[in-house]
Amino acid sequence: MSLNRQIEVWLHSRIESFRHADRPFITLTYAQSWD
């Protein structure tokens, strides 16, 4: 698995955990920092 793919999978899992914690603002900010 390429590094980019690993980051993508990891980031997705982080977003999911943030979403389940009901903190969409933090999720958005965090996701944008990876752009």
pLDDT for 9: 92
Tens of pLDDT, residue by residue, the chain (35 residues): 799 999 999 999 888 877 666 655 666 666 666 55
For residue 20, what are the CA distances in angstroms to 4, 9, 11, 27, 34?
24, 17, 14, 10, 20
Q: Which residues contact 7 (CB under 8 A, 6 or more apart)?
A: 34
